[in-house]
Structure 1
Amino acid sequence: MTRFRQRVLAVSRPVTLTLASALLLINLAVILYGVFMRYLVGGAPIWTDELSRFLIIGSVMLAAGAVWVEGGHMRVALIERLLPARLTRLLHLYQWLLTLLLATAGALFSYRYALSVAMFTTSGLGISRTLPMLSLPIGFALLAWQAFWYGPGPLPSQTEETA
C-alpha cells in the first residue's frame, strides 16, 4: 500500500503544481496587460484586476495540498522534537486527522457557498460568482486528497540554510 500511496502522490503533486504554475503565468500576463493598457494606452479594462485576484486565489488553492505534502508550508515543529517517539506518532496522527477533517469540511462548506452565489455576477467579468468561487472547494478537496494519501506520518521539515 505504501508504494501505491507514493505513486498517487507522485502523479497528483506535479499535476496540481503545474496547474497552479499555469494560473500564475496567466495571472502575470493579465497583470502585464493591465499595466500596459493603464500606463501606455491610457486606461485598463476593469476586468484585469478582478481576473488577477481570482487567478491568484485559484493558484494558491491548487498548490496548497502539494505544499502541505512537501512540508513547504509554515509550521513550528518544536513540539515534535521534544516529545518521546510514542507521543510524536500520536501527534502526527492528530495533525493528519485534523488536516483531513478541516480540508474536507472546507471543501463541503465552500462548495455549498459557491453554489449559493450562482445568481450573482462579478462586477468586472460579468460571470457568475460560482465560477471563481469553485477554486475554494477544489483546492480544499485536493488538500484532503493529498493529505489522505500522504498518511499520518511526519511531514518533511524545511530547514533554513545559512550562507
Structure 2
Amino acid sequence: MEFGLMNAPASKSSFVATITSVLLTLRGVIDKCFATLACVSLLAIAAVVLLQVVARFMLPSSPVWTEELSRYLFIYLIVLSSGLVIRDDRHVRLELFQGLLSPALKRAYVLICHALTGAFAAYLIPFALQYAQIGQWQMSPTLEMPMYWVFISVTIFFALTAFYSALGFVLELLSPTNRETQ
C-alpha cells in the first residue's frame, strides 16, 4: 500500500501533464484554424482594396461593393484574431500595478482577469445571438447579402473570448511554474 501512496504525487503530476498537453494540443489546432482564417481575411482585404484603387485609376467607374466588403472583412479579421490576442496575453489592459505584485498575487490577478473576462463574454453570447437575428431581415446595401453574416461576428467574438479566457484560466491553474510559487 505504501508503494501506491508513494506514486500518488507522480500519478497526479502525470495526469495534470496529460490534461495540459491535451489542452495545449486542442488550443494549437484551434489557433491554426483561426489564424488561417484571419490571414485569409487580411489577404482578401488587401485584394479588395487593391482592386478598388486600380479600378479608380484604370476603369471608368470603380465597383461600389469593394468598400463594403473591405469593411466586413476587417470586422472578421478582428473577430477571428481576438482569441489569438487573448492567448498571447496581448490585449489592452491596465498594467499599472501588476509588476509590483508578488508571483502568487500576480497569478491570482491573472486568474481573476480570465474568470471575469470569460464570464462577461459568456453572459453576452445570448444577447449577441438576438442581435444577429435582426440581420436576417436586412440586406447589405451593395453586396445584397443578409446582414446576419455581419451581425453574427459579434457572437463569434464573444464565444472566442469566453473560450480562450476559460482555456487560459485552466492552463494557468495547471501551470507547473505557477504551482511552485504557492
TM-score over 0.5 for the pair: yes
Q: Which residue of 1 aligns with 2:134?
A: 116
CA RMSD of aligned residues (A): 1.8
Q: Displacement, 1:125?
A: 0.8
TM-score (normalizing by structure 1): 0.85
Could you tell me which residue of structure 2 aligns to residue 145 of structure 1? Answer: 163
Match of 1:158 in 2: none
Quick one: distance in 1 between partners of 2:101 and 2:62?
A: 56
* Aligned equivalents of 2:22, 2:149: Cα separation in 1: 33
Q: Structure 2 length as normaliser, TM-score?
A: 0.77
Q: Distance in 1 between matches of 2:93 and 2:107?
A: 17
Letter of the 2:34 counterpart: T
The total of aligned residue pairs comes to: 154
Unaligned runs of 5+ in 1: 155-163
Residue 74 of structure 1 is matched in structure 2 by 92
Partner residue in 2 for 1:39: 57
Percent identity of paired positions between Structure 1 and Structure 2: 29
What CA distance in whole angstroms lies between the structure 2 residues aligned with 1:3 and 1:150?
A: 13
Gapped regions of structure 2 (runs ≥ 5): 1-18, 174-182
- Per the alignment, residue 23 of structure 2 pairs with 5
Q: Looking at secondary structure, tell me which structure has more helix per residue.
A: 2
Equivalent residue in structure 1 for 2:81, among 52, 63, 66: 63
- Spell out structure 1 runs of 4+ moving beyond 4 A: none
The one of the two structures with greater contact order (alpha-carbon pairs below 8 A, sep at least 6) is 1
- Aligned with residue 93 of structure 1, among 111, 115, 122: 111
Higher radius of gyration, 1 or 2:
2
Q: Following the alignment from structure 1 to structure 2, what is the Cα–Cα distance between the partners of residues 39 and 140? A: 40
